[in-house]
Structure 1
Amino acid sequence: MRTAKKAEKSQRQDIPLAPPLDTIGRKYHARMRTIHAASDSLSEGVVVPALREAIVEGVLAPGSRLSEVQVARQLNVSRTPMREAFAQLEREGLVTVLPRIGAFVRSVSVRDVEEIYTVRAALECLAVQLAADRIAALGRAQLDDVVSVMEVAVAANDPASYVDALDRFYTVVMTIADNRTLQESHAALIGPVRRVRRIAMARGGRMRASFEQSVRIRDAIVNHDPRVQDLMREQLQGACKAALDVLNHVE
């Protein structure tokens, strides 16, 4: 028993820890200083993306209270952009704001997972179909590039890098699909989707299964395969089951 506990402790130590909130905040401040982000407000450019990342990566645990004063200090901003940021994150399903009480990191429920994947199926099955109809040389090159990055992450057994690459995979698919309304609808789910995606990757074998199915989806898009929507649906069903298995095991 002692050996098993020691092995379990060692295994946990091998998992890279997410950076603290103040480190995440400095990253987005640096981006704000670039030309492309110069027009963003502190809420849009720093507070929202930093808190979104911290919630998705588990730096801020479900149920944690988000103090305006403490968060503003950690992110090196005034309290002015905090309420606007909390309201945005509440719309994304990441935060719950209680009047006269405060903001809290929202827990992920079984219903959340089921609803997110239902909506994803509608949006992403349409996206891969449009991508298959509209794929050109540039799109093929972009898909090949991101699939190569995903393969490296799988070989290295690096779930965090894999999930980042998988995010890029879907971004490329949406770009190839070239439907602004679809892109905007999908972008509105970005926080909850990434959070649930990371939960799903905690299930053993899920990363490899996800990669192999993503390759099939890539091939179907490039070859204009009429089964592309079925392949996307299979991917989402597997991801949904993995996330539910993790949540049910925790509960």
Structure 2
Amino acid sequence: MPSAKSSSAKVPSGGGRHVPTLESIATRYHARLRTLDASGDSLSEGVVVPALREAIIEGVLAPGSRLSEVQVAKQLNVSRTPMREAFAQLEREGLVTILPRVGAYVRAMTLRDVEEIYTVRAALECLAVQLASERITPLGAAQLDDVIAAMRESVKANDPVSYVDALDRFYTIVMTIADNRTLQANHAALIGPVRRLRRIAMARGGRMRASFAQAVRIRDAIVNRTPDVQDLMREQLRGACAAALDVLRNGAS
């Protein structure tokens, strides 16, 4: 049975912020569906999958936790019908492990996972920033400036949760500017584990400020179309990978 020990970590919740529960997360997603005809499929896509994904990424559901169909369905205020499909989707995203005749568990993040994910991220995101620097527009530059401002405020407030939310938006904007659907689709397949690793990495002291300083340099390189944009992206990813590995090796949980 998967274990939450050794190579797994909970995500820091940020100073003074309310720590959500699975029930409170689900309530938000239900609210978004109130104007829709919520069939079994829409509940799976609109509530169950995104709520469980968020709970795993944010550390509300700890690595190694068993996901009982009955219990989780009750917490999400849904029937059991969409649960199996949702667990299968989250397994494809690398967030859940399903053991035949045993059940579903929150997948623990291993050192190998970190190294493999960052290797693939380097290939995808270095291409993304290169394309973004070639296709940057005034609107794209303004969007980058807005998200950099939000990141700066999070750093000032020493709020890693808000910071990584803004960092997620930064990369989404970069992917949008890059405007390559195949690249976006491949990057989207990694988004759950990537967001989880971002939150793990922020547990290491000083990582948030280092990440922000490098993000500013990447923004400048994209907007100014400088030739070192891929090198800056690789440097950012090396730092993030090292931070995540350090947290996991030290047994944070």
Q: CA deviation at 1:101?
A: 1.1
1:77 maps to amino acid: V
**Normalized against structure 2, the TM-score is what?**
0.91
1:121 to 2:122 alignment: yes
Q: CA deviation at 1:42?
A: 0.8
Give per-residue Cα distances to partners, 1:189-223, cap 9 Å, x unaligned. Answer: 11100111100000000000000000000000000
Distance 1:161 1:199, change over 3 A: same
2:184 maps to amino acid: Q
Partner SS state of residue 123, structure 1: helix
2:138 maps to amino acid: A
Distance 1:185 1:34, change over 3 A: farther
Task: State how far apart, in whole Å, the 2-side matches of 1:90 and 1:18 are.
Answer: 25
1:18–1:58 Cα contact (<8 Å) kept: no
Distance 1:149 1:105, change over 3 A: same
1:138 to 2:119 alignment: no
Partner SS state of residue 62, structure 1: coil
2:163 maps to amino acid: Y
What count of residue pairs does the alignment treat as equivalent? Answer: 239
Give per-residue Cα distances to partners, 1:24-54, cap 9 Å, x unaligned. Answer: 000111122357x999711111111100111
Q: Which sits farther off after the overlay, 15-24 or 192-201?
A: 15-24
**Other-structure match for 2:162:** 161
Partner SS state of residue 19, structure 1: coil
Q: CA deviation at 1:16?
A: 3.1
1:32–1:38 Cα contact (<8 Å) kept: no
2:132–2:177 Cα contact (<8 Å) kept: yes
Aligned residue runs from structure 1 range 63-142, under 5 A: 63-142=64-143
**Other-structure match for 1:57:** 58
2:81 maps to amino acid: T
1:125–1:232 Cα contact (<8 Å) kept: yes
1:244 maps to amino acid: L
1:210 maps to amino acid: S
**Other-structure match for 1:196:** 197
2:177 maps to amino acid: I
Q: CA deviation at 1:99?
A: 1.2
Aligned residue runs from structure 1 range 209-224, under 5 A: 209-224=210-225
- Of Structure 1 and Structure 2, the greater helix share is in 1
Task: State how far apart, in whole Å, the 2-side matches of 1:38 and 1:158 are.
Answer: 38
**Other-structure match for 2:234:** 233
1:50 maps to amino acid: A
Give per-residue Cα distances to partners, 1:44-73, cap 9 Å, x unaligned. Answer: 111111001111111111111000000001
Task: State how far apart, in whole Å, the 2-side matches of 1:54 and 1:152 are.
Answer: 25
1:200–1:240 Cα contact (<8 Å) kept: yes
Unaligned runs of 5+ in 2: 1-12
Aligned-residue identity in percent: 77
Partner SS state of residue 97, structure 2: strand
1:123–1:182 Cα contact (<8 Å) kept: yes
**Normalized against structure 1, the TM-score is what?**
0.92
Aligned residue runs from structure 1 range 5-20, under 5 A: 14-20=15-21
Give per-residue Cα distances to partners, 1:218-239, cap 9 Å, x unaligned. Answer: 0000000110000000000000
Task: State how far apart, in whole Å, the 1-side matches of 2:40 and 2:103 are.
Answer: 29
Distance 1:150 1:13, change over 3 A: closer
Higher RCO (Cα < 8 Å, 6 or more apart): 2
**Other-structure match for 2:4:** none
